[in-house]
Amino acid sequence: MKTLLAATLLFVGMNLWAEPVSTLSPDGQIAVGFDVLDGRPTYNVTYKGRQVIAPSRLGIDLDLGPDLIDGFEIVKTSTVSFDQTWQPVWGENKNIRNHYNELLVEMRQPSTNRLMNLRFRVYDDGMGFRYEFPEQGPGFVYFVIKQEKSEFAMTGDHTAWWIAGDYDTQEYNYTESRLSQIRSLLPGSIDGNVSQTPFSPTGVQTSLQLKTDDGVYINLHEAALVDYSAMHLNLNDSTMVFESWLTPDAQGNAVHMQAPAVTPWRTAIITDDACRTLASNLILNLNEPCAYGDTSWIKPVKYIGVWWEMITGKSQWSYTADVPSIKLETIDYTKVKPHGQHGATTENVRRYIDFAAKHGFDQVLVEGWNIGWEDWIGKSKDKVFDFVTPYPDFDLDGLNEYARSKGVRLMMHHETSGSIRNYERHMEKAYAFMEKYGYNAVKSGYVGNMIPRGEHHYGQWMNDHYLHAVKEAAKHRIMVNAHEATRPTGLCRTYPNLIGNESARGTEYEANAGLNVNHTTILPFTRLQGGPMDFTPGIFEMDMSKLNPGNTAVVRSTIPRQLALYVTMYSPLQMAADLPEHYEQHMDAFQFIKDVAVDWDESRYLEAEPGRYIVVARKAKGSDDWFVGCTSGEQGHKSTLSLDFLEPGRKYKATIYADAPDADYRTNPKAYTISTKKVTSKTRLRMAAAPGGGYAIAITPLDI
C-alpha cells in the first residue's frame, strides 16, 4: 500500500497529573473522557454534547492472583493526532482517510506493581480503545484472562438490532427491540444450528447496532481481533450497561496472554446519520496496514457454483448411501454403489463451466468434489476429509483443463467439519495441490463443533487458526473465503487475501429456515462493519419445490432486490448463487449480475435505516460506471434519488431493474421491470421498492 498523504503525527500534549483527561475527535463533536475513580479506570463518551456512553468501567479478571480491576493510578497521559490516507487492495473506496486523536493513559497498580495502559482513538464517526500490557520485567509476562470487564453504559432503553450471543454460531435472524426486551425475546430468537452455544439470557453479539430515541446511531464492535477471543456483550437490563463477555476456551478461560501484548480494539461508531454509520471506515482504520509486499495476486472474484443445488436438496454433496461410515484410509469409492444424486459430477461441472465462460464469470465453485461427504457432519469425526482426493465421478485434471481452456478457474472448497487438527495437518498439501491445479481461491468451512473438542468457533484457539490459514494461503498466493469463522474485525486490511467470510445468516437459509425479510437491511450495519460477506445473492427461482419437490421453502425477496444485493452487500467476492437454468429464464435481469462490478473507487450511501432500507451508489474501480442498489424490508421503500454523485455535465444511460408495481415478496416476487433512461448529475429518480423488494441501477456514461 502506498500512502497518499504522509501521516501527520502531531504531539499535542502530556499530562503528568492523575486528573480526569479527555480527547476530542478531529471535528470536535465526539469527546472521550477518562478518569480513575476509586482506583477503577473509567471512560465516557459524548457526541455533540450529549452523553452516548455513560461512565463505564474498564478492567480484566485474571484466573489467578489479583485482578486488573481496581487499585490503579495514572502514571502518565499523552495525546497524539494522526492523519493518513491509505489505499486498500480492494474495497468500497479507492482512498481511506485514517484521521484521529489519540489518548494514551499509562497506569500502574501499586499493590502488584503491574502496568496496564489504555489507548483511545477518537474519530469523527466514533472511537476505539484497547488495553495494552507493556513489557515490564519478569513479574508480569504470562497471564490468563478469565474475563474482560469492559463496560459500555448505554444512556437509555435504546432500540437494538441484535442476535443472541453464542460461542459457535452467528447464523441467526436479527431481532429489532428495545434493550429491555432482549431478555424476553432472546429464547425465541434462537433457531437450530449444527453447533450453537448461547451463554446468557441477555447476551448478544457484536457488531451490535443501536439507536437512541433522539436519533443517535451507536454501533459496538471490535477491531483487529488477533490472538484473543471474540467479544460478546452481556446486558445488565436494569442499568442498560453492556459488559464484554469473551468466548471461553475448553478450560473455561478466555485468553492466554504474553506481555508485551494488546487486546483488540473495542469500537463504537457514533453518528446521527445512518448513512455515515454504513460509510464508516473506523474498523478498518484500527487495523494494521497490509502485511504483504506483493498483493498483485489478490483479485476480486465473481463466481457461480455447484452449491445451491445441494443447499436446496436437488442434489447431494455425497456420492453414495451404500456404506454406514467412511474411513478415508480404507474406503474404495469405486467399489460402492453411487446414489446417483451427486452434484459435483464431471458432466454437471462442465455445464457450470460453460455457463461461467459464456457469461464472463471468473470462477466456478464446486462443493462435494472430494471424498468424505457421506458422514462429515455432526459426528465429531477427526479424520473427516483429506482435501485432495476427488470422488470417482469428478475428473479433477480434465475439469481444471477444461476450465482453463475456457478462461475460467475452478474455486476450491475446503470444508473442515470443524476438525481443525485434521485440516492443519493437510493444509500445506492442500494448498500446494491448489497451486498445482491453478486454483487461487478457496471457500473454507467450519461447520459443527470444534475438534479440539471443547474449543469454540470464536475462542482464541480458533481465531489463531483462521489467521494461520490466511497467512499460509498467502504463501501460495491463495485467497480465502472462510465460512462459519469468527465475524470479521477488519483484518482484511492487514491480510487482504482474506477476501470473504460468511459469519452471519446468508442466502442459504432462504432454502430452509428462512431469512427475515429485512435481514439485508441490517447486515450492512452489523456483520459487514468488520469486512465483506459471501452472502451469495442472486436467487431468481423463489420456490424451492421447483428444485426439490420435498422442499417447501420460499425465498422472501423479489428479483430486483436480489440484483440490488450485489451493490448493497459490499464484497469483492460475489456469487451468482442460483442455477444456470434459472438465469436462462431471465437473461434480461441476469444482465445486471453480469455487468455489476465487484471492486470500487467510491461508494455513496444515499439512504439508510436499519431494518427498513439501504440505498447505495458505487463507482466501479477504474471506470466511470456507477451501480445503485436498494434493499428494503417488509414495508418496501420509496426513494427520490438525486444522482448528484455523477460527474456534472456528463450524460449517462441508466438501466433500471425495478420491482413491478404489483411485485411483493409474498405473492409476486418475480415481477420486475427493466427500463433505460438518460440521466445526468441533476437527475432525480423516483424509485419504489416493493415489500421485500428493491431495485438495481446500472449507470454508464454515454460519451465513451
Closer residue to a second copy, CB minimum distance, 426 or 637: 426
Distance from C-alpha of 480 to C-alpha of 446, rounded to nearest angstrom = 13
SS (H, E, C) 558-581: CHHHHHHHHHHCCCCEEECCCCHH
Distance from C-alpha of 409 to C-alpha of 403, rounded to nearest angstrom = 6
Indicate which single residue of 124, 148, 237, 455 sits in contact with a second copy (rule: CB under 8 A).
455
Within 8 A by CB and 6+ apart from 565, the residues are 520, 535, 537, 538, 629, 631, 694
Site string for a second copy, 284-303 (x = CB under 8 A): --------------------
Q: Catalytic residue among 455, 508, 510, 541, which?
A: 508
Q: Given the rule CB under 8 A, which of 65-73, 256-264, 365-373, 567-575 is the region that contacts a second copy?
A: 256-264
Indicate which single residue of 26, 39, 156, 454 sits in contact with a second copy (rule: CB under 8 A).
454
Indicate which single residue of 40, 425, 604, 621 sits in contact with a second copy (rule: CB under 8 A).
425
Closer residue to a second copy, CB minimum distance, 379 or 621: 379
Question: Is residue 249 a contact residue for a second copy (CB under 8 A)?
Answer: yes
Kindly state the smallest distance separating residue 139's Cβ from a second copy, in Å: 8
Indicate which single residue of 251, 334, 640, 675 sits in contact with a second copy (rule: CB under 8 A).
251
Q: Which amino acid is at 449?
A: N
Angstrom CA distances, 514 to 171, 252, 530, 547, 564, stand at 11, 33, 24, 16, 19
Closer residue to a second copy, CB minimum distance, 185 or 328: 328
Kindly state the smallest distance separating residue 462's Cβ from a second copy, in Å: 11
Sign of CA dihedral 277, 560, 580, 359: negative
Instruction: Give yes or no for a contact between 445 and 484, defined as CB atoms under 8 angstroms apart.
Output: yes
Distance from C-alpha of 384 to C-alpha of 378, rounded to nearest angstrom = 11
C-alpha cell at 523: 447486515
Helix (H) or strand (E) holding 635: none
Closer residue to a second copy, CB minimum distance, 350 or 471: 471
Which residues, in sequence order, are bridge partners of residue 481? Answer: 443, 500
C-alpha cell at 454: 471443547
Instruction: Give yes or no: 508 in active site.
Output: yes
C-alpha cell at 651: 450524460
Question: Is residue 325 a contact residue for a second copy (CB under 8 A)?
Answer: yes
Question: Is residue 141 a contact residue for a second copy (CB under 8 A)?
Answer: yes
Instruction: Give yes or no for a contact between 385 and 372, defined as CB atoms under 8 angstroms apart.
Output: yes
Neighbours of 485 (CB within 10 A): 25
Q: Given the rule CB under 8 A, which of 9-17, 69-77, 129-137, 192-200 is the region that contacts a second copy?
A: 129-137
Question: Is residue 75 a contact residue for a second copy (CB under 8 A)?
Answer: no
Q: Concatenated DSSP letters for 331-371?
A: --GGGS-B-S-BS--HHHHHHHHHHHHHHT-SEEEE-S-BS
Closer residue to a second copy, CB minimum distance, 138 or 188: 138
Closer residue to a second copy, CB minimum distance, 425 or 586: 425
Indicate which single residue of 73, 135, 191, 288 sits in contact with a second copy (rule: CB under 8 A).
135
**Total residues interacting with a second copy, rule: CB under 8 A:** 33
Distance from C-alpha of 373 to C-alpha of 356, rounded to nearest angstrom = 25
Kindly state the smallest distance separating residue 662's Cβ from a second copy, in Å: 49
Question: Is residue 55 a contact residue for a second copy (CB under 8 A)?
Answer: no
Q: Given the rule CB under 8 A, which of 86-94, 122-130, 133-141, 525-533 is the region that contacts a second copy?
A: 133-141
Which residues, in sequence order, are bridge partners of residue 231? Answer: 246
Distance from C-alpha of 143 to C-alpha of 139, rounded to nearest angstrom = 10
Indicate which single residue of 259, 353, 491, 697 sits in contact with a second copy (rule: CB under 8 A).
259
Distance from C-alpha of 569 to C-alpha of 299, rounded to nearest angstrom = 18
Kindly state the smallest distance separating residue 548's Cβ from a second copy, in Å: 22
Instruction: Give yes or no for a contact between 199 and 232, defined as CB atoms under 8 angstroms apart.
Output: yes
Indicate which single residue of 335, 358, 436, 453 sits in contact with a second copy (rule: CB under 8 A).
453
Kindly state the smallest distance separating residue 193's Cβ from a second copy, in Å: 19
Instruction: Give yes or no for a contact between 114 and 70, defined as CB atoms under 8 angstroms apart.
Output: no
Phi, psi (degrees; rounded to nearest 5) at 426: -95, -5
Closer residue to a second copy, CB minimum distance, 257 or 699: 257
C-alpha cell at 540: 431468481
Question: Is residue 666 a contact residue for a second copy (CB under 8 A)?
Answer: no
Q: Given the rule CB under 8 A, which of 68-76, 297-305, 422-430, 592-600 is the region that contacts a second copy?
A: 422-430
Distance from C-alpha of 666 to C-alpha of 583, rounded to nearest angstrom = 21
Distance from C-alpha of 526 to C-alpha of 219, rounded to nearest angstrom = 8
Considering only residues 368 to 397 of the shown chain, the ones binding a second copy according to CB under 8 A are 375, 379-382
User: How crowded is the C-beta side of 128, counted as CA atoms within 13 Å?
Assistant: 24
Kindly state the smallest distance separating residue 114's Cβ from a second copy, in Å: 13
Kindly state the smallest distance separating residue 194's Cβ from a second copy, in Å: 15
Question: Is residue 436 a contact residue for a second copy (CB under 8 A)?
Answer: no
Distance from C-alpha of 479 to C-alpha of 464, rounded to nearest angstrom = 17
Q: Which amino acid is at 502?
A: E
Considering only residues 474 to 493 of the shown chain, the ones binding a second copy according to CB under 8 A are none
Indicate which single residue of 50, 327, 666, 678 sits in contact with a second copy (rule: CB under 8 A).
327
**Percentage helix, strand, coil for the chain under 3-state DSSP, each rounded to 5:** 20, 35, 45
Site string for a second copy, 21-40 (x = CB under 8 A): --------------------
Q: Given the rule CB under 8 A, which of 323-331, 361-369, 388-396, 489-497 is the region that contacts a second copy?
A: 323-331
Closer residue to a second copy, CB minimum distance, 97 or 421: 421
Closer residue to a second copy, CB minimum distance, 448 or 633: 448
Closer residue to a second copy, CB minimum distance, 192 or 324: 324
C-alpha cell at 374: 457421506
Closer residue to a second copy, CB minimum distance, 258 or 545: 258
Question: Is residue 335 a contact residue for a second copy (CB under 8 A)?
Answer: no
List residues binding a second copy (CB under 8 A).
Answer: 135-138, 141-142, 144, 249-251, 253, 256, 258-259, 324-325, 327, 375, 379-382, 421, 424-425, 428, 452-455, 461, 464, 468
Catalytic residue positions, numbered: 508
